[in-house]
Amino acid sequence: MPRMDDTTSAPPATPPKAAKRPSSATHHGIDVADDYAWLRDPGYPEVGDAAILEHLKAENAWFETRMAPHKNRVDALFKEMRGRIKEADKSVPQKDGEWLYWIEFEEGAEYKKWWRRPVGAAEGYGKDQLILDEPALAKGKEYFRLGAISTSQNGRLLAYSVDDNGSERFTVRIKDLATGEHLPDEIPGTLSALIWVVGDTGLIYSLANEQWRTDNARLHWLGKPLEEDVELYHEDEEGFRVGASLSANETWVILSTGDHETSEVRLLPAADPLAQPILVRPRQKGLEYDVDERDGVLYVHANDTHENFRLATAPLDRPGEWTTLIEGSNSFYLTGVELFRDFYVVEGRLGGLDRIELRYYDDPNRIEPITFPEASYTASLGNNPEWAMQALRVSYESMVSPASAFDYHVAERRLELLKVQEIPSGYDAELYTTERLEIIARDGTPIPVSLMMRRDRAKGGPLHLYGYGAYGIAIPPGFSTTRLSLVDRGFAYAIAHVRGGDDLGRAWYKAGKLESRINTFTDFVDVAKGLIERGLTQAGRISISGGSAGGELMGAVINSNPELWGAVVAHVPFVDVLATMLDASLPLTPGEWPEWGNPIEDAAAFALIRSYSPYDNVRAQAYPPMLVTAGLNDPRVTYWEPAKWVARLRELKTDANELLLKTNMGAGHGGKSGRFESLHETAEEFAFILWQLGIESPPKAATR
C-alpha cells in the first residue's frame, strides 16, 4: 500500500466525502441509524477493505494538502521543540543489587539505550554495560515500542517485550547479559509485566486474548516450549483483566484481577508459584483493594470503609480480616502505599495537591511528610527498587519548574537535588507565572484550574484549554517543553480538572461517570466561560485539545457550545460511545460498562449515552475548525470512530471551517513512536492551532 503522503497524483481540490450506506439497529425499541457503519472493516484487526483504505487515504491526502502551505510553520515549531530537548541525555543511575542502572539517549536518537555498571565502579572506566539497545531494535521499523523490561534477580538475564506495529501485542525475548546472546525462548502476544520467579528459572506473563483482554496469568519455564507453559490463573468474568506483580520484598507474586470498580487479589509464593494461591478477599461489587506483605502481615489499601481508601493490616493466615491502620478521610485521598524494610510511604492528594508521607511500622503516630517549595506542583516516588532503601528517589515538577530528580535521605529528612531537566535553547522560569484557580460550575461546584502564562502576556489573549475527565485519572500540573511554543506566543495554558478524574478524590471521579457523566462536559464549558469572565481570554480565542476519553470531551463540547472554540484538536477520540458500548466483542467494552453503563441491558444507560455520544449528536450547525487523529492499529479507540465522526461532521456541518483527519497507518493509540517523530505531530497540532487563530508572530525569547 502506498504511503499516505504519496505525491504521485495531483492534490485534491475538495475534502473527501464518505459514501452513505444506510444501516440501522434497534435497541430498547429505538432505531439507531448509522450511514457510516461500513467504515468498520469486518475483518478487523486486519484492515483490508479497499473502499475503507481508499477513504482513509483520501482523508490523509486532504490533510497533507491543507497543511502544505504551513510546512514552514510546522518545521519552525519542530525546530523550537527539538531545541528544548537535550538530545544526548541520561537519567540519574539507581542502585539495584550489585548494579547501577540508567537509561541514555544519544544525539539524534529516537529511542533510548539501557545501561548498567557494577556498584563501586567508576563511571566511564570500561565497566559500563549496554543491556538493551532500543535504536538497534527499532531500526527499519515504522513503529517501535518497548513494553515490559525486567532484570532477573541474579542480574544475569533480561526479559523485555516489543510491539512493532502499535497493536499493543508484545513479543517477549530474553537476553543473557553475560554473553549478549538471546535465549531461544520467545513469547508472542503478551500484554503485561514480566515477573521473574523460582530462582530466575520461570517468568510470569499474561497473553492478550482476541479482544485484547488479559484474562490469564501464565508461567513460562526457561528453555521449555510454550506448549508447556502453565496457566496459573484464568479470569472468567468478561470485563475483568488480570495482572501480576512482585511484593516489595520479592517474596510473593501478587495476582490481581478487576475492572473499573471491583478487584480481587491472590498471592503465590515466588519460590513456588504452582502452590495453591491465597485469596485475600473474594470480589464484591464496588470493592477495590490492593495488597503488599511484610513479615507475615498484609498491608491492604482498600475503599471498603471510605471512598478515598483506608490502609488496613491483616495476618497472612487470615487475609480477609482487615484492621484499620490509616482511616479513610474526606480531605486526604490515599492513592497508594509502598512498603520498604524499615518504613512505608503513603502517597495521596490533599486539596488536590500531591503529598508524600513516610510512616513507621513501630510508631503509628510518627508521620514525616516530604515538603516542597511551590504552591502548585506534582510530586511522586520515582524508581526505588530495593527493599532496604536509605534514600528515596523522588520526582518533582510544576507548570513552570522543569522535571527534577531528588534523593530524600530518610535518616536526615533531607532532599538532595540530583538533576534538573536541562533545556538547551534556554529557559527562565521567572518569565512565567502559574496559579491554581477555582471556577464555579453551573451547579455551584468549584472546579480547579491550573494556569500558566508569561508574566508579560496581554490580557484577553489566546488561551489553550486541556481536559480529560474519565476513569479517575488526574491530570497533574506538570511541566511541558512543547507547551512553551504556545505560551511564548501569548497563550495562557490551562488544565481544567473536571469531574470524572480523581483530582480531588474518589467522589470527584464518581461525579463524572455513569449517570453523572454530563458533569464532565459542562464543567469544561463552564471553566472556559469563567476564564472569559475573568478577562483571561475571549470566546473564539480558545483552542482546546484532548485525547481518547478526552477526545470524547472535545466531541461533546463542540456539539453543545461550538461558538466558544477557535480551534479543536481531538486525538484518537472516543466519540462513537453508543455503538462501542453496544458491542461486547470490542476489546474494551465489557470492562468499560462500570465506567459508562451497559446500554445492552439497561435502557436508562442506553438513553443517557445516546443523549451525549458525540457521533450520535452531530447536527446541522456551525462547528469550529478541527484536527482529528486516528491510528489504524489502535485497539483502544478503533480507527473507525474518528473516521465515522469526521464523515458525519462533513455531511452535516453548515460552516466552511477546516476539518482535517490524519490516520497513522502504522501506529496505534499513542500515535507515532520515537521522541522526534511524535514531536513532529505536536508541531503539526500547534501549527494548526496558530493557523486557525490567525497568530503569525514569532515566539518571545524564553530567556532574558
**Nearest of 327, 266, 269, 332 to residue 301 by alpha carbon:** 327
Identity at 584, one-letter amino acid code: A
* Torsion angle defined by CA atoms of residues 419, 420, 423 and 429, in that order, rounded to the nearest 10 degrees: -160
- To the query of whether residue 634 is one of the catalytic residues in this protein, the response is yes
For residues 13 and 10, what is the distance between their CA atoms, to the nearest angstrom? 9
For residues 614 and 333, what is the distance between their CA atoms, to the nearest angstrom? 32
Q: At 629, is the secondary structure helix, strand, or coil?
A: strand
**Between helices 71-83 and 675-692, what is the axis angle to 10°?**
130
Helix residue ranges per DSSP H, 349-457: none
| Residue 152 contacts residue 196 (beta carbons within 8 Å) | yes
- To the query of whether residue 497 is one of the catalytic residues in this protein, the response is no
| Residue 452 contacts residue 492 (beta carbons within 8 Å) | yes
Cβ neighbors of 601 (< 8 A, separation 6 or more) are: none
| Residue 691 contacts residue 63 (beta carbons within 8 Å) | no
Q: Which of 548, 613, 673, 680 is catalytic?
A: 548
Cell of 149: 523490561
Cβ neighbors of 84 (< 8 A, separation 6 or more) are: 423, 424, 425, 427, 481, 482, 484
First vs last Cα of the chain: how many Å apart?
50
Q: Which of 152, 669, 673, 680 is catalytic?
A: 669
DSSP-derived pairing of the beta strands 463-466 and 542-547: parallel
For residues 6 and 16, what is the distance between their CA atoms, to the nearest angstrom? 16
Q: Which of 292, 634, 673, 680 is catalytic?
A: 634
Helix residue ranges per DSSP H, 614-674: 640-652
Identity at 68, one-letter amino acid code: A
Cell of 656: 466552511
For residues 690 and 462, what is the distance between their CA atoms, to the nearest angstrom? 10
Q: What are phi and psi of 207, to 5 degrees?
A: -90, 145
- To the query of whether residue 669 is one of the catalytic residues in this protein, the response is yes
DSSP-derived pairing of the beta strands 24-27 and 297-302: unpaired
Identity at 630, one-letter amino acid code: A
For residues 394 and 405, what is the distance between their CA atoms, to the nearest angstrom? 6
| Residue 264 contacts residue 282 (beta carbons within 8 Å) | yes
List residues with catalytic annotation: 548, 634, 669
